[in-house]
Amino acid sequence: MAKNAVRHQDDLNEGLCAHATQQAERAGKALAQAEAICRAHGARLTPIRRKVLEALYATHKPLGAYDLAEILGPKGRRLAPITVYRALDFLMEQGLVRRLASQNAYIASPSVHDEKEAVAFLICENCGGVDELTSPEFTGVLSGLMAGQHFQPNAKVLEITGRCSHCLETH
- Per-residue model confidence as pLDDT tens digits over 39-49: 999 999 999 99
Average pLDDT, the chain: 85
Its domain, for residue 28, covers 9-108
Q: Taking residues 78-105, what's their average pLDDT?
A: 94
Residues 6 or more apart in contact with residue 31 via CB below 8 angstroms: 2, 50, 53, 54, 57
- Count the domains in the chain: 2
- Give domain status of residue 41, yes or no: yes
Same domain, 15 and 92: yes
32: CB partners within 8 A, 6+ apart: none
17 domain residue, yes or no: yes
Are residues 98 and 125 located together in one domain of the fold? no
Measure the CA angle with vertex 6, ends 100 and 114; round to 5°: 35
CATH of the domain at 159: 3.30.1490.190
Q: Does the residue 154 lie in any domain?
A: yes
135 and 99 in a common domain: no
**Of 39, 50, 66, 67, nearest to 108 (Cα)?**
50
Contact between 87 and 49 (Cβ < 8 Å) = yes
- The confidence score (pLDDT) of residue 12 equals 36
My answer on whether 91 and 28 are in the same domain is yes
148 within domain boundaries = yes
Bridge partners, 131 (sequence order): 122
pLDDT for the residue numbered 15: 52
The confidence score (pLDDT) of residue 113 equals 75
72 and 133 share one domain: no
Asked if pLDDT for residue 37 goes beyond 80, the answer is yes
Q: Are 52 and 68 in contact (CB under 8 A)?
A: yes
- Could you give the percent of the chain with pLDDT greater than 90? 55
User: Is a pLDDT exceeding 70 seen at residue 88?
Assistant: yes
* 56 and 76 part of one domain: yes
Instruction: Give the pLDDT confidence score for residue 19 in this predicted structure.
Output: 67
Confidence of residue 21 (pLDDT cuts 50, 70, 90): confident
CATH number for the domain including 20? 1.10.10.10
Q: Are residues 129 and 100 part of one domain?
A: no
Examine the domain organization and report whether 40 and 65 are in the same domain.
yes
3-state secondary structure (DSSP) of residue 8: coil
102 and 67 housed in the same domain: yes
Distance CA 72, CA 12 (A): 20
Residue 122 has pLDDT above 90, yes or no: yes
Query: Contact, 119 vs 135, CB < 8 A?
Result: no
Q: What is the pLDDT of residue 156?
A: 87
Taking the model in full, what pTM does it have?
0.81
Reference 66, options 57, 50, 58, 55; nearest CA is 55
Q: For residue 4, is it within any domain?
A: no
